Structure 1
């Protein structure tokens, strides 16, 4: 895996960006919040790095974690109901909001495990190694 990650390198990343694109514009403060601590500013920094061709594994990982934290299933920041009301072109269809949250959560989790799993293994290089050590 190269140090720089662009959408063409990772179809899951491209899909997550597509999902985010059908949410309101980043300047819609009624959805994203206001100021430098808004959810759009947290996501935006990482998205911009990726789209400008400077994205690294940490950018993808942080973006995915932010999606899980702020938009994923069961979060308390932007609820599934808010997402349902604001999905572009869907017109408040509850099943679409539910599907968006499920898809975004699954895709973000795939990216988090892809880019973070080596560090989560606590230095163990081979998957499952802890189970076969004596």
Structure 2
């Protein structure tokens, strides 16, 4: 069994959690949705083990993918205007919403590549191996 990934272990993960804390929580159903298939449920399923110090690489990866899919730049689920509206303490400032989306997208992508890349690489154990074998 692998060691759990905690916020203290990964500053990018801690930063992503800080960014999510800037948004209203799951009580803001007009942001996160309601019901068993809501975006809130997807996030909560991965956030809880991470916040309890029991997060796995898969939890971090899925959380980051959810940020890209539901909150990232040009997503079709929660547009930047909604994110701007629900950011705490910025009073609907569009530049703050834009900056949040850019930062969240960049941080989530960093985490996805960190925790998914070994699986994407698959059988190729040497980074860039395809380039070494191409004539």
- Report the TM-score range of the alignment, normalised by the length of the smaller protein: over 0.9
User: In structure 2, how many angstroms separate the alpha carbons of the residues matched to 1:47 and 1:34?
Assistant: 17
Partner of 1:82: 82
* Pairwise CA distance, 1:122: 2.7
What is the aligned length?
133
* Pairwise CA distance, 1:3: 2.5
Whether 2:9 is the aligned partner of 1:19: answer no
Normalised TM-score (structure 1): 0.96
Measured against aligned partners, the alpha-carbon deviations of 1:40-61 in whole angstroms (never above 9, x if no partner) come to 1101111100111110000000
Which structure 2 residues correspond to residues 33-112 of structure 1 after superposition, within 5 A? 33-112=33-112
SS at match of 1:7: coil
5+ unaligned residues in a row in structure 1: which ranges? none
Backbone CA RMSD of aligned residues? 0.9
User: In structure 1, how many angstroms separate the alpha carbons of the residues matched to 2:13 and 2:82?
Assistant: 23
* Pairwise CA distance, 1:85: 1.1
* Pairwise CA distance, 1:65: 0.3
Normalised TM-score (structure 2): 0.95
5+ unaligned residues in a row in structure 2: which ranges? none
The runs of at least 4 aligned residues of structure 1 exceeding 6 Å deviation read none
- Does the 8 Å CA contact 1:3/1:57 hold for their aligned counterparts? no
User: In structure 2, how many angstroms separate the alpha carbons of the residues matched to 1:123 and 1:26?
Assistant: 40
Partner of 1:8: 8
* Pairwise CA distance, 1:93: 0.5
User: In structure 2, how many angstroms separate the alpha carbons of the residues matched to 1:51 and 1:31?
Assistant: 21
